Structure formats: structure tokens, C-alpha cells
Amino acid sequence: MKERLLILEDGCVYHGLGFGYDQFRIGELVFNTGMSGYQEVLSDLSYCGQIVMMTYPLIGNYGINRDDFESLDPAVFGFVVKEACDTPNNFRSDMSLDEYLKLKKIPGLCHVDTRAITKKLRSTGTMRAVMADSGCDVEKIVKQLKESDYLHDQVKRVSALKPFPIPARGKKVVLMDFGAKHGIIRELSKRHCDLIVVPYNTTAEEIIALHPDGVMLSNGPGDPKDMREAIIEIKKLIEHGMVIFGICLGHQLISLACGADTIKLKFGHRGCNHPVVDLESGKVSITSQNHGFAVSEESLVHTDLIMTHRALNDKSVEGVKHTKYPVFAVQYHPEAAPGPEDANSLFDEFMDLMESEKR
């Protein structure tokens, strides 16, 4: 390993050792608080355009296996850890973390004080950053960071290029792919759904022509307000009376389509230990989350949406449902991957809603 730097847009420089790939891109530096699940994190397309830092100190100890991917072509721009294990020990391990990062062209940085960086981001908020080789012109790079903009085309980068089926004999579900995790597909397939995965820019008319029993709006990266065309089509689907279930970005897009607003969180929710309360039942679930934006609670007042779930850490909106149409959504990930499966029953609620609406 050779010395590698992490440079932040405010001029802070952190010295560490490089591993993985050796070419770098500017990205939004974010942190994930999960103690495990780094393979799922790396392959979660919602991290497109971001440099992910894990707060748990030892990462890579169980290697990379064939089963736990959430996508086949990861979109993360970098990976930062305190200690990267180069000798994984697990019966399912196929390669080391370093080998995987090299294979997927993701630069890594280790032996940095991730606790100090996390405390900084919690204070200042997420910011642009880039890795660089030792000896670089730091002042020039900081200037580039300050002048650069965040990406606005992440969903286009990660969505399916054209529709494709995953056949079964159950309910016909159209999955709008904004960067869908494999976990969502696994849960729908487990319930024998006849899936058709469609690109992010599929029109409402094209979806309605497929005569689905329901529509799933997936997770995905970026600012939901960048998805203006999709918001228009989702509004059409809602007003058509389609059964719709939204997850993460899908939740935000439903809210925007119904007239609500979204806001950027200071440092987001990324991890698998976030408590959320169901406002109707009072039940608390520990959830897996990965998002930097949230629905504004105040903006729900003049819409046909009501809040159904609330985050217990910062009181933000974690779920909504429509008062007139069969539409509901959650900000967190009921499919987990990684994380607890406390909220997995939401997929059953989706199945029940499709059945009841069919009668």
C-alpha cells in the first residue's frame, strides 16, 4: 500500500493508505453506521456519485461472496475505512475486499481516523471530497472541489436500459427501476410476483398498457427533484387508481407527485440500526436506511397524503399513504440487505392491497 489522501472541499486533508483501484473521482462524502453488510453497501446503486465511509473500524473480515450483491455493477465513487482486512476468513468468501475494489474500479482508503471525519460531517454536513496520491497539489484540488457540482443524472446512470421480465405465475407487478436493489426483486419474487422491470423514464401510458396488478417504485440515488419527468408520470399512475408501493426514492417521488416537498438532510440516514415508529400501531421497527433527502412534514398538510411512520432519531417523515388512492410508501428499506427484517411485512401489505383492489 502507498500513501493516499482524502481531500475535502473545506480544505481538510486526511492521510491514509490506498487500496483497491488507483483512479479517483469527486464525490459526496457520506458515512454509513452499519457494523456489517459492507458488500451490500458497496453494491447499492443509491450510492452512485458518493464516497462511502464506514464508521465500524474493521471492514472486509468476511470477504466478498457470490450471494450478497445488491447490484452487479456498483456505482459508488470511493470507499473509506479505518482498517481494511486483507485476509478474510469465511466459508462463503470468494475474494478479498481489495480484490473486489480493483475488479470494480473503486478506489479505497484505509488507516484514516474515520471517527474524526464522521464527527466533522455530523457537524458541517456532507461535502464534496476526492482521494488523491501523496504529493498532489492540494490547493488546486480544493479549488476544483469548490467549483464542482453534485451529479444530477445518477438515476439515468444506474437504471435498466430497457424493460425485461422476471416471469412467475402470481400478481403482475411493474417495478420502476430508479436503481433498484436486488433485495426488492428477491422479496417480490419470493411472493411469486410476475415482474416486469422497466427503466426510470417509462411513461404512465406504457405501464398501464401492461395491465399490472400493482407498481413498485424502487430506491435510487440523487435528489428526487431532478426526476421531474418521472414525477409527472407517477402522478398519472396515482390518478389512474394504480396500486403503488414506493421505497426510499420511490417514497420521495410519490410525495412530490402529490404536491409535497422534499429537503436535503444535513448528513442523511445511512445504516441498519435506525428506529422508526408506525404511528397507527405504535410498533417500533429497527430499519435499514440509505438516503440524503427526506419529505418535509409541513408540506404534507395541503396534500392527500398522511404520515404513517416517523423516525425516532430526528423525527423526520418515514412513511406516507394516500387518503383516496391505493398508494403507500416508506423512506426506509423493508427488504433490508443489509440490516434487520423488522419491516418485511410491508411487502405482504402490498400483496394484500393488490388483492383487495382487484375485487
Active site residues: 248, 333, 335
CA angle, residues 160, 161, 164, in degrees to nearest 5:
65
Q: DSSP character for 109?
A: E
Helix axes 228-239, 249-257, angle to 10 degrees: 70
Element (H, E) at 245: strand 244-247
Question: Which residues pair with residue 160 across a beta bridge?
Answer: none
Q: Which three cell numbers stand for residue 31?
A: 458515512
Helix (H) or strand (E) holding 249: helix 249-257
Bridge partners (DSSP) listed for residue 29: 51, 127
Q: Report the b/e string of 310-321 with b at 16+ CB within 10 A.
A: bbeeeebbbbbb
Helix ranges (H only) for 87-181 are 97-103, 114-124, 138-147, 154-158
The Cα 91–Cα 62 span in angstroms is 8
DSSP strand pairing (78-80 vs 107-110):
parallel
Instruction: Say which residues have a Cβ less than 8 Å from residue 76's Cβ, sequence separation at least 6.
Output: 41, 42, 44, 47, 48, 50, 51, 52, 106
d(CA 293, CA 285): 20
Contact between 186 and 335 (Cβ < 8 Å): yes
Residue type present at position 285: S
350/245 Cα distance (integer angstroms): 7
SS3 3: strand
